[in-house]
Amino acid sequence: MRRAGRRGRQAQEDCPMENGVGREPGVPEPPPTEGTSAPRPPRARPRLVFRTQLAHGSPTARIEGFTNVKELYGKIAEVFGISPTEVRGRGRRVTPIPGPSPAAVTGRWGQILFCTLNTHKVDMQKLLGGQIGLEDFIFAHVRGETKEVEVTKTEDALGLTITDNGAGYAFIKRIKEGSIINRLQTVCVGDSIEAINDHTIVGCRHYEVARMLRELPRAQPFTLRLVQPKKAFDMIGQRTRSSSKCPPESCVSSGKETLRLRAQGPAMLQEGPSTVEEEAARRVDDLLESYMGIRDCELAATMVEMAKCSPAAAALACALDSVLGEFAFPQEFVAEVWAAVCSPCSGQE
């Protein structure tokens, strides 16, 4: 009896333990008895695959495995075999590298100016921002012809609203009717601003470009080097928008699950913004245009989230300074943002 007991104990020590009971190696786990629940397998992460085309025309391709905008552009450039563009830094020219280079994926997205969702046209209401609906179709607008235009600043404001693609290229999102730029027929919505007076601004954020243009002296001509997106025969961009009050510029439909891209950290699946959140983001986006000459739906959505967590405008100012201090938001702007989000009635005209 003792030997059998020792052998039994040794068998239990050598075999895997399952709820304190030894099980022989190779023997399948018995089915759960009535009244007990089997352990649930870990939930499989969904495989997110998006369809994409080049806006001027191409076959449909599929992309996956990206977590931010730069990686998204890199995947699009890779799947379509777009040759890379070498960016040698601010203040220098952008030089295309001849021939394909599979290893230089980080430079390939330099050929992509911006992306739109569910339309191949230069539609600034359909820009891809920080969120993509799981059923959205991505159209990539690539570099077309380069053009230079001379501008004389006769007023403080040029009439431009600028945004950027999140990957180093700022472009024109809106041209104010009756403005200086509106009188220049060669400048169009969707044009990327590559240089100011031969000083390349590739790599600058949209607010930096807007600040440079505001600081240019009056009555002194300057040169803009622009890159227009490559166009198909039916792709004519919208030139002006008379009113700053426009429909919400959210990139996704409300109530649908979306993929949110982040500059840092992994992408996250989440529900689309509610109607109230979309309206608050639209008001903040209008304030960004009014104060800074930029529009950025993702920045506006981020500021809405921060304002909702701030008990007062002063707390919002501290939060913005710690996270977005490079923008140098004026105090009156921050106060209006907090009022627009937390006291929407006072933020409406």
What are the E-state strand segments in 153-267?
Answer: 160-164, 170-175, 192-196, 199-200, 221-229, 257-260
Stretches where the chain sits below pLDDT 70 are 1-47, 84-109, 233-257, 259-273, 344-349
The b/e string for 38-56 (b: 16+ C-beta within 10 A; e otherwise) is: eeeeeeeeeeeebebbbbb
- Which pLDDT belongs to residue 269? 64
Q: From 60, 96, 99, select the one nearest 80 (Cα to Cα).
A: 60
Could you give the count of Cα atoms lying within 13 Å of 294 in the half-sphere of its Cβ?
23
Using CB atoms within 10 A of its CB, is residue 34 exposed (0-12), middle (13-18) or buried (19+)? Answer: exposed
CB atoms within 10 A of CB 255: 10
Whole-angstrom Cα distance, residue 219 to residue 155? 8
- Which pLDDT belongs to residue 89? 39
Could you give the count of Cα atoms lying within 13 Å of 338 in the half-sphere of its Cβ?
19
pLDDT in tens, 12-71: 444 443 433 344 445 555 555 555 556 665 544 456 889 999 999 999 999 998 888 888
Tokens of 82: 């777009």
Tokens of 94: 């952008």
pLDDT in tens, 172-197: 999 999 999 999 999 999 999 999 99
What are the E-state strand segments in the chain?
Answer: 17-18, 21-22, 49-54, 61-64, 85-87, 94-96, 112-117, 131-133, 137-152, 160-164, 170-175, 192-196, 199-200, 221-229, 257-260, 268-271
- Which pLDDT belongs to residue 344? 63
Q: From 84, 170, 173, select the one nearest 126 (Cα to Cα).
A: 173
Whole-angstrom Cα distance, residue 146 to residue 94? 12
Question: Three-class SS of residue 228?
Answer: strand
Q: From 206, 296, 203, 261, select the one nearest 75 (Cα to Cα).
A: 261
Partners of 85 in beta bridges:
96
Q: From 131, 177, 174, select the one nearest 286 (Cα to Cα).
A: 174
Evaluate whether 153 touches 219 at the Cβ level (below 8 Å): yes
Whole-angstrom Cα distance, residue 201 to residue 208? 9
- Which pLDDT belongs to residue 265? 57
Using CB atoms within 10 A of its CB, is residue 145 exposed (0-12), middle (13-18) or buried (19+)? Answer: exposed
